Chains A and B, each alone.
Chain A
Amino acid sequence: MTAVQTPSVDAPVDGPGGSKLGSTIKRVIASNPSVLPTVAAIVIFIGMVIYGEVAYGRIVQYNTLSNLLINNAHLIILAAGMTFVILTGGIDLSVGSVIAFSSVAGVMLANAGWNPWVVIVLMILIGTVFGLASGILIQYFNVQPFIATLAMMFLGRGLASLLSTQPERLADDSQLLWLGEQFKLIDGEKVNDVVITPGVIIAFVVVLVAFFVLHRTRTGRTVYAIGGSESSSALMGLAVPRTKILVYVISGTLSGIAAVVYTSRLGIAQNITGIGWELDAIAATVIGGTLLTGGYGYVLGSVVGALVLGLMNVLITRDGGIPPEMTTIITGGILLVFVLLQRAVTSKRQT
């Protein structure tokens, strides 16, 4: 587990690791084939970086990589939340709409003169409430995760549209924008700087906490156990109902945080913000090696998955020859490859 974590964190900076790392990875895969998709995602990410550098240039440099993080901070946060849900064998389709509702409400409140901290807390709480509602529907009323979060998706989008159908712009002096402000860490030549935003730091913290919770706490083990077999974990006396609600609350809350990060970066919120982001988050999670049936996967893999998607957009923009409408086909194709890979891995384990 720790061996996987090292390359995923280092990859954006260092590229491929040394041969010692290679042998460690080999050993880990041999002992636990379920990490193969995650390793494959890392390999693909490194491959994309190398290809991009060779074909278009200016990929492995400070500003491209920092922008990759800044522009995908919200997706990383979403993917971390989605990992929890998918690990239990569920799905959360509401994240994109929750972001829309939370950010439209947040911007309108901030413009109405509310204290920015109160606004931020409210934006996150909106996500929590949506997650709690899905969780209660799923756990206590036996509604399928798919349909319960679909209802929340409709509800969020509809409520956002009721609030406003116009783009809501944050006032230029709003303190919320501070979260999206760019700070230079390393001053390179010309614009080639290492920049970071508080949003990126939030994303890092979210991922670290998620990693800690999943791998070092009882709740995390229960999440994996539910994905393995819900009835067995209930018979073992694990807190299944509580944990199942908790994963949706986590996903909802992280959507709220993602809404804060995204809104502070753009300064604009609209009722159509975040359409299709649930699919991006699911794709990031799946590419990162989390099995859709639950029970196997790593939150750091989802981070790599989110970065793969982000880098793909960068490469497509750089190429210029690929029509933008091909983006979804390519995303679909990558997703298909990874799902087939998962399928191969799981069937190997069965035989």
Chain B
Amino acid sequence: MSTGARTSWLRELVRKPFFWGLVAIVALLVLNVLKDPNYLAISYDPETGRLVGNVVDILRASAPILMIAVGMSLVIATGGIDLSVGSVMAVSGAVAMVLMKDAGDSGSVLVALGAIGLALLISAVLGAVNGVLVAYVGLQPFISTLIMMLAGRGIAKVITEGQNTSASNEPFRWIANGFLIGLPVVFLLAIAIAIVVGLVVRRSALGLMIEAIGINPKASRMAGIKPNGLLLTVYILSGVLAGVAGIMSVGTVMTVDVSRTGYQMELDAILAVVIGGTSLSGGKFSIGGAVVGGLLIATLDKTIVFLGISSSATPAFKAIVIVVLCLLQSQRVRSWFVQRRKPPRASAAPSAVPSEKPQQKQEVTA
């Protein structure tokens, strides 16, 4: 009896959508502490009123990923995907930088607000194009956002005339590099936006409607949900959040590098969403999970650099994380795990293949 209860408790814990994400963050931090016992130390700099430490760095680096991950989790919940977020980040950064460079004023709050406003507006327009193609023209989300990904990178290059553009503007810089109550402004902003989005979709019926579209678009329409408008809104929101992420990432160095800004960020966002336990087939989402996923990716990035591995090798580690998480989420490994009553390991993968073959044949003949 007691063993049964224990197993169900274990299973419950494993089934928590972002449980493994949290475990992975802790594991990575432990790894860093092993290398340098002072890794987690946070000191307070009384002169500038800032907290200084590796963890604060991770929080700051996670902000853009958090933004696109939140947008992406909503898009994926509708059964879609948004591959254009990285390019939209570049466009948004390019717009802001070019506008501030032309304005030439280094201290005006008005210029900063104008740059942010225009950047977000254009991001929203790009998101709306995605939304119209998906919702009203009926294209596959994968291909319409792929087109936007190709075109967006080109648009960013056209805006900056192919050059990496720098500008100086104190208020704009403050968003990315400033501190408030000791914490980085970007992180506070990202968390605030994530909370607002989370509250809006979870306290209203919006979240349920989005999930309903992802589960079955036809049934949701018959239940009285108008999927088209909602889909359009979701893609616009994803575009705007990518725009915010773009502003955050160009603000750090006050330069937009049209071929590197936001490069492969769509993959980071998808990874964050998967880590957070959102199913890629749509129908459910977890903003909290996306936040955990974003934090894990930022931690992973920083850890790899900290351990002295070339940052261009980061993708290999991300790939391992994706594969392990996908295996943990797959029914086959779960059933394997329940039979053995042992925590699943990544090495379960190869050995599970031959043992499952007869079952596969049964499915086919059934």
Contact = CB atoms under 8 A, between A and B. Distances in A.
Contacts of A335: 143, 146-147, 150
Contact of A142 (B153, B155, B331): B331
Nearest to A161: B312
B280 A147 contact: yes
Contact of B364 (A234, A323, A347): A234
**By DSSP majority rule, is chain A's interface helix, strand, loop, or mixed?**
helix
A151 B150 contact: no
Interface residues of A, number: 52
A158 B318 contact: yes
A328 B315 contact: no
A343 B322 CA distance: 33
A155 interface: yes
A339 B153 contact: no
A154 B331 contact: no
B364 A241 contact: yes
Given A147-B326, A292-B140, A140 B151 contact: no
B150 A328 contact: yes
Nearest to B129: A336
A340 B137 contact: yes
A154 B330 contact: no
A159 interface: yes
B130 to A, nearest CB: 11
A336 B326 CA distance: 31
Contacts of B223: none
Contacts of A282: 146
A293 interface: yes
A234 B352 CA distance: 22
B143 A240 contact: no
A144 B315 contact: no
B326 to A, nearest CB: 4
Interface in B122-172: 133, 137-140, 142-144, 146-151, 153-155, 157-158, 161-162
A226 to B, nearest CB: 12
Contacts of B356: 140
A293 B142 CA distance: 11
Interface residues of B, number: 54
**By DSSP majority rule, is chain B's interface helix, strand, loop, or mixed?**
helix
Interface in B351-366: 352-353, 356, 360, 363-365
Given A150-B270, A325-B158, A158 B316 contact: yes
B147 A141 contact: no
A91 interface: yes
Given A282-B146, A332-B151, A144 B281 contact: yes
Interface in B322-366: 322-323, 326-327, 330-333, 349, 352-353, 356, 360, 363-365
Contacts of B146: 279, 282, 335
B69 to A, nearest CB: 15
Contacts of A283: 150
Contact of B319 (A143, A158, A279, A336): A158
B6 to A, nearest CB: 27
Given A158-B314, A161-B315, A332 B137 contact: no
A240 B364 contact: yes
A165 interface: yes
Contact of A329 (B81, B133, B154, B363): B154
B310 A161 contact: yes
A144 B359 CA distance: 20
Contact of A331 (B150, B320, B323): B150
A71 B52 CA distance: 52
B212 to A, nearest CB: 21
Contacts of A328: 150-151, 153-154, 157
Interface string A322-351: 011111111111011001100100010000
Nearest to B316: A158
Most chain B beta-carbon contacts within 10 A, residue among A154, A293, A327, A343: A154
Contact of B150 (A159, A234, A332): A332
A143 B330 contact: yes
A91 B274 contact: no
Most chain A beta-carbon contacts within 10 A, residue among B147, B349, B363: B147
Contacts of A332: 147-148, 150-151, 154
A216 to B, nearest CB: 24
A324 B162 contact: yes
B267 interface: yes
Contacts of B144: 336, 339
Given A144-B280, A329-B158, A335-B143, 6 more contacts: A137-B327, A141-B349, A146-B142, A154-B316, A234-B364, A332-B147
Across the A-B interface, give the 6 residue pairs with the lowest CB-CB distance, nearest first: A158-B316, A325-B157, A332-B151, A329-B154, A155-B319, A154-B319
29 contacts: A91-B142, A97-B315, A137-B327, A140-B332, A140-B352, A146-B280, A148-B326, A150-B267, A151-B319, A151-B322, A152-B319, A155-B315, A155-B323, A161-B312, A162-B313, A162-B316, A237-B365, A292-B142, A323-B162, A328-B153, A328-B154, A329-B158, A332-B147, A332-B151, A333-B151, A335-B143, A335-B150, A339-B143, A347-B138
Interface of A: 91, 97, 136-137, 140-144, 146-148, 150-155, 157-159, 161-162, 165, 234, 237, 240-241, 271, 279, 282-283, 286, 292-293, 323-333, 335-336, 339-340, 343, 347
Interface of B: 81, 133, 137-140, 142-144, 146-151, 153-155, 157-158, 161-162, 258, 267, 270, 274, 280-281, 310, 312-320, 322-323, 326-327, 330-333, 349, 352-353, 356, 360, 363-365
